Structure formats: C-alpha cells, structure tokens
Chains A and B, each alone.
Chain A
Amino acid sequence: MNALEIRGLTKKFGDFVAVDNMNLNVREGEIFGFLGANGAGKSTTINMISSLLRTTKGEIDLLGKNIAKNIKFAKMNIGIVPQDLAIYENMNAYENVSFFAGLYGLRGALLKERTEEALDFVGLGDKQKSFPKNFSGGMKRRLNIACAIAHRPKLIIMDEPTVGIDPQSRNYILQSVKKLNQMGSTIIYTSHYMEEVEEICTRIAIVDHGKIIAEGTKEQLKTIITDTKEIWVGVKAEGELPLDSLKQIQGVTSVRFEEGVIKIHSKTEVNNLNRIIQQLIRDQAEIRSVEEQAPNLETVFLTLTGRNLRD
C-alpha cells in the first residue's frame, strides 16, 4: 500500500503558486528523499500533508485514507519534525517530549515509557532532566526529533533535521532515521545535503518551483545524466584563482571553488580536460590532483534545475 498518495496538489499564496499540481506516491517502508533548492516548495508540501496548511487544490491520502476527511486519523499517524526547532526552552527534555506525546492521547505509564523510549532513541536518555538551553545545536535537533516520534507515527516527516549541526550529531540522526525506518515507519526526508539523501534514501524526488521534476532511486536519477561530467581539480588555494577563464573553455557549463577543489561541470561530448589543465598551469595554479567524478545527485540536480542545491 502507499503510505502517502498526493494527487494534483496545489498551494497558492495570493497569486504566487508555491506548490504546483504535484503528484507523488510514497510506498510504505520507504525513506523518501525530498530535494529542492530554497523556496522550491518542500516545506509548503510537508505542511499540507501534516494539516498545517489548507490545500488550494488536490488530494492527499495517508495509508489509503483521505486526510481532509479523516483528520484525526491523519494527525495521529503523522509525526512532523519541523524545519525550525520547535521546543520549549523552559521545560526539560523529558517534559518537552512528554507534553507533545500527551497531546496524542498517551497517559500515565505508557506516556512515561514512550517518552523515555523516544529520548533514548535520539541519545538523550541521560539528559532527561536537562533544559534545552544547555544543549548543543545537535542535541536540540535530536530533542526536536524525539518530540515527533514518541507517539510512534506511521509516517515521519523530517524537514531538514540536520541543519547547522556537528558531524557527530548528524551521523547519529542519520542512523536514527534508518533505525526508525527498520522499526516500521515510513519516512519523508528533506535536506539540502546531497550526501545525506544519497546515503539514506531509497527513493528521491527533485522539487523545483513547486513541481516534481524527477523521481526515482538514486541510480535511476543518475542515469538521467549522460551528457554532463564533473571534473575536480585539487589546487593549493593561493591568490586569485582563474575561475572566469575556465568558464570560457568550450564545453564548460559551470565552475565553482570549494575547500581547495575547483569543481567544473562540462558537457560529456567535448574532450576539454587538456585545455582546462593548460589554463590552470598558465594561471600558475598549483595542481595537486585531477579526477573525473562519477555522476552524482549534485550533478543531476544542477543539470535539471540549472542551480546548485545550496546557494
């Protein structure tokens, strides 16, 4: 069965169309990745799925039931991890989780058990009595997740749960997502980080301007790209880098510099590696490595939308 089925979903804010006639199926047991640049319409879609926003048009079914007609059922079975932290600073970790879980009808011993379970799950079992103001960014993010899972929802929607945190917490969260999935929850995962999506998602949709422009497993998505290659040139980062002159080279579609690596996208059919290297030598860049990247989601995204995932 489909955990989630979206048909013709549209959301307008005034004249602005944030989500445009979207169709999407998420199967039970999937970790479904939702990729899109800033303003693509991911959060708006998620908010409509979790009944926070009204739809302008279209239908959403959760586990085969229309959410507008079964609002209580839908709410009981969805857990949302909002993009921005949504916790009470004046309540400790336990109280935060327990308060929200209580809104889902959990009481007494069961409430206590589920609250502790959720906190253990995100690795905050020993911080139950601590207040969020003493938490690191990563711990707050984990608490943000715990608040969404204590009622054991069938569908967990995570809207960029790893923004601005240390690699350790990020790893912890990614592992937790996988574990939640193994325990039977379907997951919709939104992120700006391609590597995360590539690592954990079974299927991915790329959203742009409120529309899904590509959908499939990462392998399927990568096969879309046959005409673009990516060349990485490691350089010693000193002085002016000749990025503009590289862009003049035939076949090159984009050039950017990140952490000591010049990343060049180019058309596959043009063999321009020699010319790129010659240009770099002429500009006296100290080349340390050159490698041609296998096509990745970043390339797919760039090719499809014409922009980088992160600005």
Chain B
Amino acid sequence: MNVINIALKELKVNLRDFRTFVFMLAFPIVLMLILGTALTNAFTSGATVGDMSLLYRNTASSPQLTQAWNEFSSVLEQQGVKLVAASASEDGKADVQDNQYSGYAEITDNGIRFYGSQRDSIESNIIQGMLSAFADRYNLAAAAMKENPTQAQTILAGASAQQSYVNESSLTAESQPGSMGYYAIAMTTMIAFYSVISGSNLIRGEKTRNTALRLSAAPVSKGSIFAGKVIGVTIVNFLCVVAVVLFSKFAYNADWGTHYPTLLLILFTEVLLAVSVGVGASYLFKGESSRSFVMIFTQIASFLGGAYFPVDPKGVMNVLSNISPMRWANEALTKIIYQGNLQAAWPALGLNIGVAAVFLIVAALFMRRQEAI
C-alpha cells in the first residue's frame, strides 16, 4: 500500500515538473524534426516517394482477369499511381528506360510481367509490390474459381475493398526506415535512456529536499520507499516515451508498424534499465561525480547507440556500439517495425531486464547499509 502511495507521489511530483516536459518531450520531438528532415539524404534507400506512374498493356482474354484488373486499377489510382494504357505501337520497356514511367506492366493470361525503372527504384518497387500482391490474390481467386466461383468473387471484391495490396507491399522484407522513421526510433530510445537522469536523482532529490528524513522517520520500510520510487519514476518516464511515440506517429507520420505491445514492452524495459543504472550510479559514485558519470554515460551511449547519426555497420564503432542499450533497443525496434520480426525483441528485453536487475540489487544493498535512506 505504501509502495503505491509513494509511486503515486512520484508520479505527481514528476509530472508537474516543467523540466520533465521540456527535456523529455520537447527535446526529442524537436530533434526528430531537425534530424529527420535535415538528414534525409543520408537515407537514400528511404528517400521520399515521388510521383508513381504505370504504363500497362492488357492482352488477357479471360474476362475474370480483365474485370479483376480493372478493379485493381482503380485501387492503384486511389493510391496515387497514374495509370496509362499503352498504345499498340508503343514500346513500353523503352519508355520506362527513358524514364517516362515508373514501370511497365504486361497483363497476359499467363501472368503479369513487370519492368521497373532503375532510376525511380522506390516507386517501381512499390508498384511491383502491389502488382505481386494483386497477382497472388488473383491466382488464389483463379484457383478457387475452379471449385467455387462465388468464393472467388469474395476474394477479389474483398481485396479491392480493403485496399490490402498496399499493406502487403509495404511489408516486404527489404523495407528500411527512412530518415524520419530512423530518428523517430533513435530519439525515442534516446529519451527512454535519459531516464538515467531521473534515476540518479531519485534518492538524491529526497536528500537535498530533506524529505528523505521524513520518509526515513515514517513507519515504512526502506524497501517500500525504494520500490515505490523506482516504480513511480519508471512509469513517469515511460509515459513521456509513449507521448513521444504518439506524437511522432501522428505529427510526423513516423512508421511504428503494428506490433505496439512488443514495442512498448521494449521501451518500458529500457526505461526501467535506465532508471536502475541511474539509481545504482547515485550510490556507486558520491555527490557530483555521480552527476558527471550520468551525463557522460548518457552522451556516450546516445552517440554509440546512433542517436545522432546511424552507426556504420562495419568497423570498430559497430562493435563498440553494442555496449549501448540504445543500440539494442534500436535494433529490436527496427526489426519489429520494418520486418515484423517479433523474435528480435528477446535480446533487448533480456539485456534490459538483466542489467536493470543487477543495478537495482546493487542500489538496494547500498541502501540497506545506510542509516537513513
């Protein structure tokens, strides 16, 4: 009961602290905008999508295929793809090479053949993705057609109604974060890690305010005080992290994928880890040196973790960066968001919880030895 009381107090005090908001919310949000837009060029694989245009020639004789294609075409157009039917004499491949279109598709009874532009590679990739989704669906429908024509209709109708081509195409294994996507993740994990600072102030704050005296004089065990404070401050910082995620999603359209429970669990454990490191540091290093340690440590970890610039995937920096908790979190989040790889959560969760436990135990042992908290 006292644990809850103390945790609630911690929430109240921190949520009313103006600095929490500037530091934990405004700071990452502004940095995301600056880095995410200023450094777009650094992320060639994720450059912004330009106009998409598709030249096509439909030579199929099957009425079902033609009907399905027509439905699909309207979906494509809704998605902003300009569709142009090739005239009889036109050489579609040459037009694409001339860069007139993002791609050229031939629809035949044997399937769809697609030629993508080398230059507009992103655009042509997207169209290709949508086309292959369409082809898969059509094949499914065609197979069903032999057995049960009405079911085939539902498959095709459902596909166009839900516009599911697009979703499927954006989930190809190759997908990579763009610059905003990258910094949305990097800033979020950085700010989660900045909870180290709250952690290092957790006990020291009570001491400088002298409220440590009152807490110690009250009939409450040190363990309850400690647990309540750690829980409270972890929740506060986690709420800030969630706010940053939501803000980047809705204001900057950052891609956070669909696996929110797993993403949030990783971020939560990262906050817990950071708070624990902070609390531990405040006992291991006395006074000012703990403050310096925390500042230096967070900066190095941010830098190595790729908060400011992506870490070169080769070389010594890459090896070094593995000691940064931000790196674990960034990797896991990227794999989950862009590849739907939920397994990638395990290493990050394990490390976060393991390191947190070590630091919490160290802090608790120190606390027990001291007279007051």
B211 touching A87, Cβ below 8 Å: yes
Q: Does A100 contact B (CB under 8 A)?
A: yes
* Complex interface: stretch among A49-57, A215-223, A256-264: A49-57
Of the residues A76, A95, A104, contact of B12 by C-beta under 8 Å? A95
Q: Does A105 reach chain B (CB closer than 8 Å)? A: yes
Known contacts A84-B210, A88-B209; A76/B219 CB under 8 A: yes
Given that A52-B372, A91-B9, A95-B12 are known contacts, is A103 also in contact with B213, CB under 8 Å in the complex?
no
B9 x A99 contact (CB < 8 A) = yes
Residues in chain A near residue B17, CB distance under 8 A: 90
A188 CB, nearest partner CB in chain B, Å: 14
Chain B residues with Cβ under 8 A from A80's Cβ? 213-214, 217
Q: Do A82 and B218 have beta carbons less than 8 Å apart?
A: no
Q: Is A267 an interface residue (CB 8 A)?
A: no
A72 close to chain B: CB less than 8 A: yes
User: Which residue of the partner chain A has the closest CB to B9?
Assistant: A99
B218: A residues at CB distance < 8 A: 75, 100, 103-104
B372: chain A residues at CB < 8 Å are 52-53
**Of residues 319 to 373 in B, which have CB atoms within 8 Å of A's CB atoms?**
371-372
Within 8 A of A (CB), among B138-180: none
Contact B12 A86 (CB under 8 A): no
Residue A102 is within 8 A (CB to CB) of chain B in the complex: yes
Q: Which residues of chain A are near B13, meaning CB under 8 Å?
A: 88, 90-91
Task: List B80-124 residues whose CB lies under 8 Å from chain A.
Answer: none
Chain B, 1-44, CB within 8 A of any chain A CB: 2, 5, 9, 12-14, 16-17
Inter-subunit contact A75/B371 (CB<8 Å): no
Choose among A51, A91, A147 the residue that contacts B216 (Cβ–Cβ < 8 A): A51
How far apart sit A47 and B212, CA to CA, in the bound complex (Å)?
12
Interface residues on A, range: 20 to 34
Q: Which of A52, A72, A85, A87 contacts B217 (CB 8 A)?
A: A52
- In the bound complex, residues from chain B placing their C-beta under 8 Å from that of A233 are none
Q: Does B264 contact A (CB under 8 A)?
A: no
The answer for the CA separation of A87 and B14 in the assembled complex, in Å, is 15
Bound CA–CA A100/B14 (angstroms): 17
**C-alpha gap A173/B372 in the complex (Å):** 28
Within 8 A of B (CB), among A63-122: 71-72, 75-76, 78, 80, 82, 84-91, 95, 99-100, 102-105
CA distance A54 to B369 in the complex (A): 11
Q: Which residues on the B side are within 8 Å of A47 (C-beta)?
A: 213
The CA-CA distance from A90 to B206 in the complex, in Å, is 13
Bound-state CA distance A99–B12 (Å) is 11
Query: Quick check: is B311 within 8 A (CB to CB) of the other chain?
Result: no
- Of all chain A residues, the one with the shortest Cβ separation from B12 is A91
Residues of the A chain whose Cβ atoms lie less than 8 Å from the Cβ of B5: 99, 102-103
Q: Smallest CB–CB gap between B113 and chain A, Å?
A: 67
* Contact between B217 and A88, CB atoms less than 8 A apart: no
Q: How far is the CB of A76 from chain B (nearest CB, A)?
A: 5
Q: Taking CB as reference atom, which chain A residue is nearest B216?
A: A52
- Does B239 sit at the interface, judged by CB under 8 A? no
Instruction: Give Cα A53–Cα B218 distance, bound, in whole angstroms.
Output: 13
Interchain CB contact under 8 A, A86 and B9:
no
How many angstroms between the C-alpha atoms of A105 and B219 in the bound complex?
9
Residues of A within 8 A of B213 (CB): 47, 52, 80, 82, 86
**Smallest CB separation, B347 vs chain A (Å):** 38
A89 CA / B14 CA spacing, docked (Å):
11
Contacts of A102 on B, CB cut-off 8 Å?
Answer: 2, 5
- CB nearest to B210 among chain A residues: A86
Docked pose: A87 CA to B220 CA in angstroms: 18
B residues less than 8 Å from A82 (CB atoms): 210, 213-214
Q: Which of chain A's residues have a CB closer than 8 A to the CB of B300?
A: none
Judge if B60 is at the interface, Cβ distance under 8 Å.
no
- With an 8 A cutoff between CB atoms, is B215 at the interface? yes
Output the least CB separation between B209 and chain A (Å).
7
In whole Å, how far is B358's beta carbon from the nearest beta carbon of chain A? 28
**Min CB distance, A63 to chain B, in Å?**
15
Roughly how many angstroms separate A144 CA and B372 CA in the complex, as a whole number?
A: 19
B210 and A54 form a contact (CB under 8 A): no
State A84–B213 Cα separation when bound (angstroms).
10
Given A75-B217, A78-B217, are A88 and B371 also a contact pair (CB < 8 Å)? Answer: no
Closest A residue by C-beta to B225: A103
User: Which parts of B173-229 form the interface with A (CB within 8 Å)?
Assistant: 209-211, 213-220
Instruction: Name the A residues within 8 Å of B219 (CB-CB).
Output: 71-72, 75-76, 103-105
Residue of B nearest to A159 (CB): B213
* Complex A-B, nearest 10 residue pairs according to Cβ-Cβ distance, in ascending order: A86-B210, A103-B218, A75-B219, A90-B16, A90-B13, A84-B210, A82-B213, A50-B217, A86-B211, A52-B372
Q: 22 A-B residue contacts at CB 8 Å? A: A52-B216, A53-B371, A53-B372, A54-B371, A75-B217, A80-B213, A80-B214, A80-B217, A86-B209, A86-B211, A90-B12, A90-B14, A91-B9, A91-B12, A91-B13, A100-B214, A100-B218, A102-B2, A102-B5, A103-B220, A104-B219, A105-B219
A interface list, Cβ under 8 A from B: 47, 50-54, 71-72, 75-76, 78, 80, 82, 84-91, 95, 99-100, 102-105, 147-148
Besides A52-B371, A75-B219, A82-B213, 5 new A-B residue pairs in contact (Cβ under 8 A), listed by A number: A51-B217, A86-B214, A89-B209, A90-B16, A147-B214
